[in-house]
């Protein structure tokens, strides 16, 4: 089959393993395309895509926009800071107005959990979730797993530790779903206050000591402390967090084996990762960014192509 089981990409939770593998195989081909002298293909030339960002984003929005342009789609961008949302327009009204301009696909980021799922029930266009609150960020998880597959030759049986603010992270949840579906072993690691209570019911190991997590894993995916989502204090200070959970190049070099270091960005240098660790040979952070464009091209191509 060369068709996804879904017409929207709302989360990894409702994808099948076959879906994820199809996205990866398609992304392999797009990765070759974006390394050509002419990096553009005409597949989506009759498709219009609206990027609707109700929350800040640099990488994801640029990556989606580039993926859309490499596929020759027409692109319109919308962010709340300069829109009528400030005047009190509802989400559905905003999106319906955009769709009235004959838009075929919507890429949306929203601070509320379930916003893209709500939209999917009310509008016809294909929806790609670019992050909904603390819930899911499916394309990030896909590009993370794709990068692991590229670096280690596969995901099945690999040990992946997700380290940091698991409680507020949509990247963590989507990563857990994706990696489990692909047959990896997953561990989450962070201060007890930043680990959700029933996370082990998703079939992941829980570890509070970062050193043990690093010794266990093949890949460490380090997350940012999301201070914008923290209304109360979960740990005494950033300095203390970085003392106990920060990863340095020395920690990595002192391990008995080679591990791969990942980070979805933006990095708080000196908090979860020191600069020398982020820029070390262990890190595949910039490969993740490159793969992000190829993976998003694959998602858009597969969703747009299935009528």
Partner 1 sequence: MQKKIVLDSQLLDITLNRLCQQLIEAHHDFSETVILGLQPRGIFLAELIHAKLKTLVKKQIPLGYLDATFHRDDFRRRDVPAKASETRIPFAIENKNVVLIDDVLFTGRTVRAALDAMIAFGRPAKVELLVLVDRTSTRDLPISADYVGKHVDTLESQKILVELVAQGHKQNKIWLINKD
Please state, in angstroms and rounded to a whole number, the distance separating the CA atoms of residues 4 and 184.
22
38 binds partner 1 (CB under 8 A): yes
Which residues 70-89 are close enough to bind partner 1 by CB under 8 A?
Answer: 71
40 binds partner 1 (CB under 8 A): yes
Looking at 20, 24, 43, 125, which residue binds partner 1 (CB under 8 A)? 43
3 binds partner 1 (CB under 8 A): yes
Helix (H, G, I), strand (E, B) or coil at 81: helix
Nearer to partner 1, 30 or 245 (CB): 30
Nearer to partner 1, 33 or 99 (CB): 33
Please state, in angstroms and rounded to a whole number, the distance separating the CA atoms of residues 117 and 13.
12
The two tokens of residue 137 are: 């960020």
Looking at 36, 121, 233, 257, which residue binds partner 1 (CB under 8 A)? 36
124 binds partner 1 (CB under 8 A): no
Nearer to partner 1, 55 or 68 (CB): 68
Three-class secondary structure assignment of 255-281: CCCCCEEECCCCCCECCCECHHHHCCC
Please state, in angstroms and rounded to a whole number, the distance separating the CA atoms of residues 245 and 64.
31
41 binds partner 1 (CB under 8 A): yes
The two tokens of residue 102 are: 């004959």
Looking at 9, 10, 47, 95, which residue binds partner 1 (CB under 8 A)? 47
Please state, in angstroms and rounded to a whole number, the distance separating the CA atoms of residues 224 and 262.
11
Nearer to partner 1, 22 or 173 (CB): 22
What do you get for the CA distance between the two ends of the chain, in Å? 14
Nearest in space to 162 (alpha carbons), one of 184, 186, 135, 140: 186
Nearer to partner 1, 37 or 153 (CB): 37
C-alpha pair distances (Å), 140 with each of 18, 110, 129, 253, 294: 18, 15, 10, 27, 12
The two tokens of residue 92 are: 């559905």
Which residues 182-201 are close enough to bind partner 1 by CB under 8 A?
Answer: none
Which residues 278-307 are close enough to bind partner 1 by CB under 8 A?
Answer: 301-302, 304-307
161 phi-psi bin (left φ>0, alpha ψ -120 to 50, beta other):
beta
CB of 43 to partner 1, least distance (A): 5
Nearest in space to 304 (alpha carbons), one of 1, 37, 68: 68
Helix (H, G, I), strand (E, B) or coil at 185: strand
102 binds partner 1 (CB under 8 A): no
Binding mask 6-35 for partner 1 (x = CB under 8 A): -------------------xx-xx--xx--
Looking at 2, 58, 81, 82, which residue binds partner 1 (CB under 8 A)? 2
Looking at 16, 17, 46, 202, which residue binds partner 1 (CB under 8 A)? 46
Nearer to partner 1, 32 or 228 (CB): 32
Helix (H, G, I), strand (E, B) or coil at 300: helix
Chain positions contacting partner 1, by CB under 8 A: 1-3, 25-26, 28-29, 32-33, 36-38, 40-44, 46-47, 71, 301-302, 304-307
């Amino acid at each position: 089959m060369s068709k996804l089981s879904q017409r929207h990409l709302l989360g990894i939770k409702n994808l099948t393993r076959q879906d994820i593998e199809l996205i990866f195989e398609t992304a392999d081909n797009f990765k070759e395309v974006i390394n050509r002298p002419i990096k553009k293909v005409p597949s989506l030339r009759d498709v219009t895509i609206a990027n609707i960002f109700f929350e800040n984003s640099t990488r994801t929005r640029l990556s989606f926009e580039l993926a859309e342009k490499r596929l020759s789609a027409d692109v319109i961008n919308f962010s709340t800071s300069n829109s009528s949302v400030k005047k009190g327009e509802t989400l559905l009204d905003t999106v319906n107005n955009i769709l009235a301009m004959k838009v075929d696909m919507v890429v949306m980021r929203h601070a509320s959990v379930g916003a893209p799922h709500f939209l999917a029930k009310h509008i016809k266009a294909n929806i790609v979730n670019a992050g909904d609150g603390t819930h899911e960020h499916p394309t990030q998880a896909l590009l993370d797993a794709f990068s692991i597959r590229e670096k280690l030759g596969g995901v099945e049986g690999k040990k992946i530790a997700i380290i940091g603010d698991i409680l507020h992270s949509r990247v963590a949840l989507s990563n857990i779903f994706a990696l489990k579906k692909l047959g990896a072993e997953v561990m989450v690691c962070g201060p007890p206050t930043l680990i959700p209570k029933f996370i082990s019911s998703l079939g992941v190991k829980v570890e509070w000591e970062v050193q043990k997590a690093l010794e266990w894993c093949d890949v460490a995916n380090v997350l940012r402390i999301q201070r914008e989502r923290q209304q109360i204090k979960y740990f005494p200070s950033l300095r203390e967090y970085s003392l106990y959970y920060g990863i340095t190049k020395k920690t990595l070099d002192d391990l008995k084996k080679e591990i791969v270091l990942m980070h979805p960005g933006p990095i708080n240098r000196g908090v979860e990762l020191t600069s020398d660790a982020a820029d070390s040979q262990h890190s595949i952070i910039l490969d993740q960014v490159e793969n992000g464009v190829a993976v998003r091209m694959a998602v858009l191509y597969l969703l747009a192509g299935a009528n």
